[in-house]
Structure 1
Amino acid sequence: MFRRRRREQPETVAEHEQAAPTRESGPWDADEPHPDNDRIDLGGLRLPHNPDFDVRLASVGDQHVGVVVIHGESTLQLQALAAPRSSGLWDEVKTKIRAQAKELEEREGPFGAELAGELPTDAGPRPARYLGVDGPRWFLLAVISGPGAHDEAVAGAFVDFVKDVVVVRGDEPMAREEPIPLRRPNEQAGGDGPEERPGLNPFKRGPEISEIR
């Protein structure tokens, strides 16, 4: 289970107090005014603390590429990607997903258009919902799978979680659909960066999950 990050430094808090959020909810960009809540600092993502959720990093090799949030038999997967300055990625990603999973149907959700349905697995059909949010030079993909994709109480808790996520894009150049770097809460940013990071493939076998204690 992740530990909560300490509250932001006083000067940052002062900035948030001076500029109130202009929207009712996120996901938030780190550079826009957002509520000063306790969050788990993973570098590229700052996640709200919910004691009912088990939060884990998803890794491919030694690269942290996403987050898995577990609640009972349901999961929420989050991945933040670099996006072009001129346009978002969700329309393009939706098309890719529909091409590989014709079982999913498009509908309106809390963040606009989303995809929902049941995906075939070795253990039988598994409910899934794909939600996408286009931000300034980033894209956040959220996938709810398991009973929570249909159970409104669980899905609502996951949606509230996503609404309080903060994405830290940073100013460094990044390739289109490159995962925004994540790190363990006790790791410092920096160090030699990988030459190439894997792109988005929502239907690839799930990455190795490492739990942060």
Structure 2
Amino acid sequence: MFGRRKNSSAADDAASETEQVGDDARAATDADDGPRRGNLPPAPRPDGPWDVSELREPGDGRVDLGGLFVPGVEGMELRVEVAGDAIVAATVVLGDSAVQLQAFAAPKREGIWGEVREEIATGITRQGGIIDEVEGPLGWELRAQVPIQLPDGKSGHQVVRFVGVDGPRWFLRGVISGQGAVQPQAAGVLEQILRDTVVVRGEGPMAPRDPIVLKLPDDAQMVPEGVQQESQSGSRFSGDLGQLARGPEISEIR
């Protein structure tokens, strides 16, 4: 089921904050004359995430969003996010946890996660946040305490994990929020979703860091905010994705 709703949950707040952090980080880094982290070649990915050329059936058990094939899991809600008129990110929500997935073009022989990680860290610390760079299950990641305004108007922090994987001419970023950012037992499914994601870079020319644009599936149905709709028996989401009890819900967040 597709819907449009306002960004209201803690998981949604973290996903929306990601773009602001990225913009602030790039601006901060551009103004910084200090040394930059060098880009290394992409590391092997024996357990994913995958390039579309590496799988025979990339759509098996996954939702086709054009630039990404996102795994379907039971109980998930899948939301897409737009920048202007383009869909640029997908967020999988599972209970009190979420992972935002966004893919970007990258140089052919260089990974960009090291450089992007440094920029995100710089941006968050300049906003008053706290950063811890650790080697996690998906490689090097940032565990951040991002400044937010609490519902009562007071200042607080939200824990967010920034994960990145370099692939062949693409970079996939995952932002884990909610319980998945603080409890390992809640993070396992989200980490596996990122590993099982398939990136479709395309063969056309793209500048490094250009977002890989997504699309809604052909049988997507948009419903007004607050309207609940049972999955259609003929929906490809409830049929082909046998592990889903109901079709994933996708919200357009502006």
TM-score w.r.t. length of structure 2: 0.63
Kindly state the Cα deviation for residue 35 of structure 1 after the two structures are TM-superposed.
Answer: 6.6
Distance in 2 separating the partners of 1:34 and 1:153: 31
> Is contact 1:58–1:65 with CA below 8 Å preserved after alignment?
yes
Larger % of helix: which?
A: 2
Q: 3-state SS of the aligned residue for 1:92?
A: helix
Which of 185, 188, 207 aligns to 1:156? It is 188
Which of 140, 147, 171 aligns to 1:113? It is 140
Kindly state the Cα deviation for residue 145 of structure 1 after the two structures are TM-superposed.
Answer: 1.2
> Is contact 2:138–2:191 with CA below 8 Å preserved after alignment?
no
Which of 63, 73, 96 aligns to 1:40? It is 63
CA 1:139 to 1:23, structure 2 compared with 1: closer, same or farther past 3 Å? Answer: closer
Q: 3-state SS of the aligned residue for 1:31?
A: helix
Which of 173, 177, 180 aligns to 1:141? It is 173
> Is contact 1:149–1:155 with CA below 8 Å preserved after alignment?
yes
- Aligned partner of 2:111 in structure 1 is 88
How do 1:156-175 and structure 2 match up within 5 A? 156-175=188-207
> Is contact 2:67–2:212 with CA below 8 Å preserved after alignment?
yes
- Aligned partner of 1:201 in structure 2 is none
Q: What residue ranges of structure 1 are gaps of 5+ in the alignment?
A: 3-21, 188-208
- Aligned partner of 2:11 in structure 1 is none
Kindly state the Cα deviation for residue 75 of structure 1 after the two structures are TM-superposed.
Answer: 1.8
CA 1:23 to 1:68, structure 2 compared with 1: closer, same or farther past 3 Å? Answer: closer
Identity %: 43
- Aligned partner of 1:183 in structure 2 is 215
Q: 3-state SS of the aligned residue for 1:101?
A: helix
Kindly state the Cα deviation for residue 24 of structure 1 after the two structures are TM-superposed.
Answer: 4.7
- Aligned partner of 1:197 in structure 2 is none
Distance in 2 separating the partners of 1:67 and 1:33: 21
* Amino acid paired to 2:252: S
Kindly state the Cα deviation for residue 86 of structure 1 after the two structures are TM-superposed.
Answer: 2.0
Distance in 2 separating the partners of 1:115 and 1:23: 19
- Which of the pair has more CA radius of gyration? 2
Q: Does 1:31 align with 2:63?
A: no
Distance in 2 separating the partners of 1:88 and 1:134: 5
* Amino acid paired to 1:118: Q
How do 1:63-78 and structure 2 match up within 5 A? 63-78=86-101
Distance in 2 separating the partners of 1:186 and 1:119: 37
> Is contact 1:28–1:34 with CA below 8 Å preserved after alignment?
no
> Is contact 2:143–2:160 with CA below 8 Å preserved after alignment?
yes
Q: 3-state SS of the aligned residue for 1:46?
A: strand
TM-score w.r.t. length of structure 1: 0.75
Deviates more, 1:117-126 or 1:167-176: 117-126
Cα deviation, 1:60-106, whole Å, max 9, x if unaligned, reads: 22110111111223221111000011201101101101111231110
- Aligned partner of 2:21 in structure 1 is none
> Is contact 2:201–2:212 with CA below 8 Å preserved after alignment?
yes
Q: 3-state SS of the aligned residue for 2:75?
A: coil
> Is contact 1:127–1:147 with CA below 8 Å preserved after alignment?
no
* Amino acid paired to 1:136: P
